A and B are shown apart, each in its own frame.
Chain A
Amino acid sequence: MWDYTDKVKDHFMHPRNVGELKDANAIGETGSLNCGDALKLFLKVNENERIVDASFMTFGCASAVASSSALTEIIKGMTLDEAAKITNEDIADYLGGLPKEKMHCSVMGKSALKKAIADYRGVQIMEKPGEMVCECFEVTDLEIIDAVKANGLETTEDVTNYLKAGGGCGKCLDRIEEVIDSVKAKG
């Protein structure tokens, strides 16, 4: 059984801000039914670009629900610029940590937030730069390099835990290993 913190359990059993926000003016969606988890984030942003309300709908495991709930609590009251600086580690920290196998749940929160902000500002999220490594979860080599550097990841398993990359069909696991090795080689 997963070693969830009391805070994760609390946010799963009693999620904050669940459901569709009727007067939302920014929506960010990430994940899919096939992936096994998905998050739809609703924001109500005022004329000063401040998030006055936030809600979510999540399909996924307990840590996915808890991460979504935590995210909405964190960003309420923030300006979009402030919210844009939130990292997945911030979400995990808010919950007192997540099992490393579940870190991708916090990454999903970060990703939905980024999309919601882009939606509000009416900007298209640019096609991801870099080479697509994991087709199942659309993860590029640059993202893997960033995650490996930022979190000191060492194995393909670590990368899967953080980015989900390699966790689907598994075809890209060899390529992920090459990317990790390339980071290590450069020191």
Chain B
Amino acid sequence: MNVIYTDNNATTKVAEEVIEEMLPYFGEYYGNPSSMHTFGDQVGKKLKQARQRVADLIHADPEEIVFTSCGTESDNSAIFSALNANPDKKRIITSNVEHPAILNLFKYLRDKKGYDAVFVPVDEKGCLDLDMLYDSLTDDTAIVSLMWANNETGVIFPIAEIAEKVTEKGILFHTDAVQAAGKIPIDVTVSHVDMLSLSGHKIHAPKGVGVLYVKKGIKFYPYVIGGHQEKGRRGGTENTVSIIGLGRACELAAQHLPVVGTQVKELRDYLQKQLLEKIPSVSVNGDQAIRLPNTLSIGFDAVEGESILLMLDKEGICASSGSACTSGSLDPSHVLMAMKVPFKSAHGTIRFSLSHYNTKEEMDHIVKTMVPAIETLRAMSPFWKDGKMV
């Protein structure tokens, strides 16, 4: 069965060009980039090239790039560094729709370390309450961390504006740009963030590699303490193969940015329009005007997400649901709850996240599968009768 992959906010296909770039470094070129011999140094040179390529994607200087093992490590490193740099400050600020890498870290810091964690709310469209954010900035604030774009809804926060307001008060600002990278332009010379997290596997590089951008002049305290790697900012021998792959992936991402902004967006809009037209009682979650071009979070009244996913899975279609439906917690995701999406559609929310590998034929197949799937599930649902909610 052909796989139709529309779960790119979860992970992406490793690009063939990336695999090609990495292959020699699995085998022939196994040297340690830090070694004092030509054999190791040829890997070192390749690592340097990768660092340049990553820096170019976000318009940074290569010296500002620290390689990590994943987006979560980048997030953790950024926050702990900020706390170490500001040992007397007790307030930490984020939003209530963050990825668990930030959300659970902030809860841990609040519950176990006594920090005054502020979770700024969002409105029904998933947009941040900026007034509350700015009002909560105090002299006691160690760090503000906000995601650039939301993984579930694709809603984009105004990071340039926020970064300016936060940093002009002398407060450190970190952004989790894991979902934004490769989908919308990121330019650290325009958005003055102090630290920024990226993840390889969201942009067609392999899993197990991430990046933390640390602006020049920011005092940085390493999270993984060890050797001199990454100029002492992250100990541990580099994951050379994946880093080299990530470099190539960043180069490709820069090339594909215009395609994502046009063709991928058109596909997403087409899928959205078709589903809205062909299925009644459907609603789109999140602000449609300021959303990642590849993401569609769409709720189907009176049915449950996992059931929809299994029906899609039968046709080889990969997507995600908006309800966790794990460990007995039947609550819809924290993001949809924070947006006060009504239960009737929150439980039946599906996220389609596209890439430039998707085609119009695939969108048609998704629609063709979704229409009868929703009909079947609604025929079974006690909350659906005669074509509407009861």
Contacts and interface: CB of A to CB of B under 8 A. Distances in A.
Nearest to B348: A59
Nearest to A57: B382
Interface stretch (B36-44, B84-92, B179-187, B322-330): B322-330
A169 B254 CA distance: 42
Contact of B379 (A18, A39, A61): A18
Interface of B: 302-307, 310, 314, 323, 325-332, 343-344, 347, 379-383
A33 B380 contact: no
A101 interface: yes
A97 interface: no
Nearest to B302: A59
Contacts of A9: 310
B382 A36 contact: no
Interface size class of A (residues with CB under 8 A): 20 to 34
A160 B328 contact: yes
A75 interface: no
Given A60-B304, A62-B306, A161 B327 contact: yes
B314 to A, nearest CB: 7
Contacts of A18: 379-380
Given A12-B307, A59-B304, A60-B307, A19 B379 contact: yes
A59 B382 contact: yes
Given A12-B310, A101-B326, A167-B329, A37 B380 contact: no
Give 7 nearest A-B pairs by CB, closest first.
Answer: A36-B330, A160-B328, A61-B306, A167-B329, A40-B382, A57-B382, A167-B328
A144 interface: no
8 contacts: A15-B380, A18-B380, A19-B380, A36-B323, A59-B381, A101-B326, A164-B330, A168-B329
Contacts, number: 83
A58 interface: yes
A15 B328 CA distance: 22
Nearest to A161: B328
A91 B383 CA distance: 24
A176 B326 CA distance: 19
A154 to B, nearest CB: 14
A175 B33 CA distance: 54
Interface of A: 9, 12-13, 15, 18-19, 29, 33-40, 57-62, 64-65, 101, 104, 157, 160-164, 166-168
Nearest to B326: A101
B382 A160 contact: no
B331 A168 contact: yes
B327 A65 contact: no
A61 B381 CA distance: 11
Given A36-B304, A57-B382, A59-B303, 5 more contacts: A12-B307, A58-B382, A61-B307, A160-B328, A167-B329
A58 B380 contact: yes
Contacts of A35: 330
A34 B329 CA distance: 12
Given A33-B344, A57-B381, A64 B329 contact: no
Contacts of A166: 328
B304 A37 contact: yes
A33 B329 CA distance: 14
Nearest to B389: A33
Contacts of A59: 302-304, 347, 380-383
Given A33-B383, A164-B330, A62 B310 contact: yes
Contact of A62 (B302, B307, B379): B307
A29 B328 contact: no
A67 to B, nearest CB: 13
Given A12-B310, A33-B344, A60-B307, A157 B383 contact: no
A160 B331 CA distance: 12
Contacts of B326: 101
B381 A101 contact: no
